[in-house]
Amino acid sequence: MSLTDILSPSDIAAALRDCQAPDSFSPKKFFQISGMSKKSSSQLKEIFRILDNDQSGFIEEDELKYFLQRFECGARVLTSSETKTFLAAADHDGDGKIGAEGIDYFKYK
């Protein structure tokens, strides 16, 4: 399964266009534009699984900086500041990674 099986390619493209400039990435806005905020919990879990590049059950800082590239190969890498802000917001237990407990962060409802 790929992200385009769950999200519209045109919505993904619009979300990526919105955050092309360094330090312009807003997770909340990205999730809204891409359509992630409207997905069911099971769809979000599948998106999370796809984003978990090493399939460890967690999204670590290393993976998170390449977040946009999981949506499109040519997308930019998140800046250090964007990565740290994103991680801090979704890392509910402070272990330095996003696990299943952070899945609700992806919903933004």
In the chain, the amino acid numbered 107 is K
18 labeled binding residue: no
Q: Beta-strand (E) ranges in 2-69?
A: 59-60
CA distance 89 to 104: 11
23 labeled binding residue: no
60 labeled binding residue: no
106 labeled binding residue: no
- Report residue 100 as tokens: 């299943």
11 labeled binding residue: no
91 labeled binding residue: yes
Angle at 101 (CA atoms; ends 69, 85), nearest 5 degrees: 50
8 labeled binding residue: no
Phi, psi of 96 (to 5 degrees): 85, 15
52 labeled binding residue: yes
56 labeled binding residue: yes
Give the residue numbers of the binding site for Ca(2+): 52, 54, 56, 58, 63, 91, 93, 95, 97
Give the residue numbers of the binding site: 52, 54, 56, 58, 63, 91, 93, 95, 97
